[in-house]
Structure 1
Amino acid sequence: MNSVQTVVSQTSPPKKSFLYDPKVRGIFYQVVVVAAIVFLFYAAASNAIENLQRAKIASGFGFLNNTAGFDISQTLIQFSAAGSTYGDAFIVGLLNTLIVSAIGIFFTTILGFMVGIARLSKNWMVAKVAMVYVEVLRNIPLLVQLLFWYIAVLGALPQPRNSLDMGAGFYLNSRGLFMAKPIWGSNISVIIAALAIGVVATFVYRRWARKQQEQTGRQYPVGKVTLALILGLPILTWIALALAGANPITFEMPRKGTFNLTGGQQILPEFVALLLGLTTYTAAFIAEVVRAGILAVSKGQSEAAGSLGLTPGQTLRLVVIPQAMRVIVPPLTSQYLNLTKNSSLAVAIGYPDLVQVFMGTVLNQTGQAIEVVVITMGVYLTISLVTSFIMNIYNRRVAIVER
């Protein structure tokens, strides 16, 4: 019996150290890498602070509370040279960046889908025009396109005294586009409440319509009902309040004088040039993304839809595009991020975005390069992460669910 135990003990493999465990090794290496990165950042920060102190250069973020002392051409909040701070200037630049990015994403998505679908058109002329658009615009640097829109197109507009009257209170000249300016009354909260009710009702109706389609196969006019609830309900509320003598919105119309326009809302030519450049440039890339996504859908899907009696438009809208979105969304997210980051080129045409205002004027006046650059980098990183998070949520909704 003892001999058997001796043989078994001799033939059994020796116990391995816990360091041979792949999970333990992975955790160990990750801890080492993170510690090394933290140490490098700490060493760099300590060295920078020491050099700043030796050179007697101010550091920290207290400069954000100092008076700015300069004006900004476009502000979405109250801002003045005498009463606003560098922190207010940062907020103004951030809002200007967000507004041009959001509007640019909206228009570039529409234009990109239109051009991408047009590239697959059976009409030879339409397909070739879309191809020329894509090949020309995506191969010209964006900076050149921005300068073209700003100098060659908008710079050739007439002076304010010779403004182009476009009707309905719209005037166009070298100083930008002038339009009616809305003045919000005390009852505007009623319109906002009507809009919120319309959004909630749209969400409920879409879920109900989807459930009914799954159960009965019957389709309901989701698009028309959505449009009626989100737009129609606030408009009807506005009309009702206006008829009752409590108009929540009035408009200040621009008036053409001898030398200039007074009143109304002015849209700067820098904003228009930046928006046009970003939209047309990014739409060329989105068009190729859309074309690739549509071509990734099997032709059998279109043939099956045609055999069911669907028109080409219905086939594209109800069958092809929903399936193509699984391929389109990931690269589409990258184009949205590129558009947001490319908006920093606004400094070339003088649009007061975050880079022009904060990394330009504020940095030159304060000299606190490290703080300004770190804040700017953090803002663009945050915008990109939020955009990616939202698009990833949508991507999971359209992705194929394995069963």
Structure 2
Amino acid sequence: MSHSPMIEARPLPARKKRSMSWNSREGRSVIYQVVAIASVVALVWLLVRNTLRNMRERGIQSGYDFMGQPFGFDISEAMIPYDVASTYWTAFSIGMLNTLKVAMIGIVLATILGTLLGVGRFSPNFLLRKICYGYVEFFRNIPIYLQLLIWYIVFTEVLPSFENAWQVGHVYLSKGGFSFPWPIWQLGQTLALIGLLLGVAGSYVYARKAQKHFDLTGQQRPVLLVSLALIVGLAVLGWLAGGAPTGWNLPVKGAFQIEEGAAFSPEFLAVLIGLVLYTASFIAEIVRSGISSVSLGQHEAAASLGLGKRQAMRLVVLPQALRVIIPPLTSQYLNLTKNSSLAVAVGYPDLVSIANTTLNQTGRAIEALSIVMLVYLTLSLVTSALMNWFNASAAIQER
């Protein structure tokens, strides 16, 4: 009876102990880092101490106690109510909400327009390709500050006065801005909004499952129609559950301006359109480069499976291009948010505008600017975190 030779297990290599002495390379590296961090902290502490001491010697007040005082100035556009007793906390909140409104709407519109332009660069239609190319080269080579000023001049000088406003039904466009009907908010609208959000979440889950089913079986399920049915259906169900209110607040011409309804001011429209058109030109180039990064063999493989050009673009090319598109797209979202600070040039009451007025009233320059820096830093970090999560979820999983 033969016995197979025993294979001796090799002992695991001894774990190398970290040496923190000056003679070791790793120890010197740690010491250098500690010294560098301590030097930076000491430098910042010296700057803060000297600044506070100089401010005291010159009788300049410091601190954030002014935030609890009434701000006492008018804000032309506010998403939350305020009165003469409202504090600077309220003023900064209004400015932050106005900044968020421009940034969020701008990101959505710029993404849609930029994607269409980027995909349009690959259209077989010669005229459409050249229009998309001309748009990109035109808008991305004009400074954003100048574009905001041009759009502001258009809305305040070129458009007619409110007496002669361009009108389509109950929608008005004039120097006073863009006025449109708005529902009288009741329980039905609230439930409809909740249903809309649930529909968006449900359509996202369904789209992911449909994609997995397509990857496993090659059979494509209808995504667009089902998503629309979920979103619209749940919103309508919420509206019906809330009593199906039908009241609308309609804009009408008053003695001095268009009253009632909802409206976008000329300042807001100038900032929004300028940021969207400018940022969309960069997003279009990002989308174009992402699509170009997908090899020709992927297009040929999609065609061999019987997929049309639109299906190949949506199901094969764009999912692979997202790996290249998402990282620079994040930078454009951050740029759009930060470029919204230029709204002060056209009088839109964003966060920077509120901070400037606060600085002039209170003299608390460091405090006001630090709040602006903190808000923009927070918005940038949140945007980066969301885009990193999206990048991870859109990454192609290797088997």
TM-score, length basis structure 1: 0.89
Deviations 1:302-327 (A, max 9, x none): 11111111111111111111111110
* 2:74 is the counterpart of 1:71: yes
- Kept in 2, the 8 Å contact 1:100–1:275? The answer is yes
1:382 aligns with 2:378: yes
The secondary structure found in structure 2 opposite 1:111 is: helix
Q: 2:360 aligns with which of 364, 372, 381?
A: 364
Counterpart residue type for residue 29 of structure 1: Y
Gaps of 5+ in 2: 1-18
Say if 1:71 and 1:79, in contact at 8 Å, map to a contact too.
no
| Amino acid in the other structure paired with 1:237 | G
Question: For residues 155 and 33 of structure 2, what CA distance do their matches in structure 1 show?
Answer: 55
Quote how far apart the aligned CAs of 1:301 are: 0.6
- Measure how far apart 1:33 and its partner are: 1.3
Q: In structure 2, do the counterparts of structure 1 residues 37 and 250 end up closer, same or farther at CA, with 3 Å as the change threshold?
A: farther
Distance change >3 Å, CA 50–CA 237, structure 1 → 2? same
Q: Would the aligned equivalents of 1:112 and 1:284 in 2 still touch at CA under 8 Å? A: yes
Paired residues in the alignment total: 381
2:279 pairs, out of 260, 279, 282, with 282
Which residue matches 1:121?
Answer: 123
Q: Tell me the amino acid that sits aligned with residue 36 of structure 2.
A: V
Q: Are 1:59 and 2:62 counterparts?
A: yes
1:315 to 300, 312, 316: 312
1:17 shift after superposition: 7.9
Structure 1 residues 397 and 237, CA gap change in structure 2 (3 angstroms): closer
Alpha carbons of structure 1 residues 79 and 20: separation in structure 2 relative to 1, 3 Å: same
Deviates more, 1:154-163 or 1:270-279: 154-163
Aligned to 1:41: 44
> Displacement, 1:187?
4.5
Distance 2:194 2:332 in 1: 34
Cα distance in 1 for partners of 2:39, 2:129 equals 55
Q: Which residue of 2 aligns with 1:355?
A: 352
Q: Confirm or deny: 8 A CA contact 1:116 1:286 kept in the other structure.
A: yes
In structure 1, give the amino acid aligned to 2:395: A
Q: In structure 1, what is the Cα distance between the partners aligned to 2:138 and 2:147?
A: 11
CA distance in 1, matches of 2:246, 2:58: 56
1:120 shift after superposition: 2.2
- 3-state SS of the aligned residue for 1:301? helix
1:285-296 to structure 2, matched below 5 A, reads 285-296=282-293
Q: Distance in 2 between matches of 1:135 and 1:39?
A: 48
Corresponding letter in the other structure for 1:205? Y
Residue 195 (structure 1) shift: 3.3
Partner of 2:163: 161
Where do 5+ consecutive residues of structure 1 fail to align?
Answer: 1-15
SS in structure 2 of the partner of residue 49 of structure 1 = helix
RMSD of aligned residue pairs (Cα, Å): 2.0
Any conservation in 2 of the 1:174–1:269 contact (CA below 8 Å)? yes
CA distance in 2, matches of 1:274, 1:55: 39
1:201 aligns with 2:202: yes
Deviations 1:129-156 (A, max 9, x none): 1111111111111111111111035521
Note the C-alpha offset of 1:266.
1.9
Residue 22 of structure 2 aligns to a residue whose secondary structure is helix
Q: CA deviation at 1:183?
A: 2.3
The two structures have a TM-score, normalised by structure 2, of: 0.90
Distance in 1 (alpha carbons) for counterparts of 2:60 and 2:166 = 52
- Check whether the contact 1:297–1:320 (CA below 8 A) recurs between aligned residues: yes
Does the CA contact (< 8 Å) of 1:241 and 1:248 recur in 2?
A: no
Return closer, same or farther for 1:189/1:390 CA change in 2, 3 Å cut-off: same
| Deviation of the 1:300 alpha carbon | 0.9
Shift of 1:296: 0.5
Distance 1:335-1:203 versus aligned 2 partners, 3 A rule? closer
Indicate if the aligned counterparts of 1:185 and 1:250 stay in contact, CA closer than 8 A. no
User: CA 1:249–1:39 in structure 2 vs 1: closer, same or farther (change >3 Å)?
Assistant: farther
- From the superposition, tell whether residues 197 and 107 of structure 1 become closer, same or farther in structure 2 (CA, over 3 Å): closer
Supply the distance in 2 between the matched residues of 1:127 and 1:209 (Cα, whole angstroms): 32
Shift, 1:188, TM fit: 4.3
> Alignment partner for residue 35 of structure 2, among 29, 32, 47?
32
1:225 aligns with 2:220: no
Task: Pick which of 246-255 and 318-327 moved more.
Answer: 246-255
Deviation at 1:185, TM superposition (A): 1.4
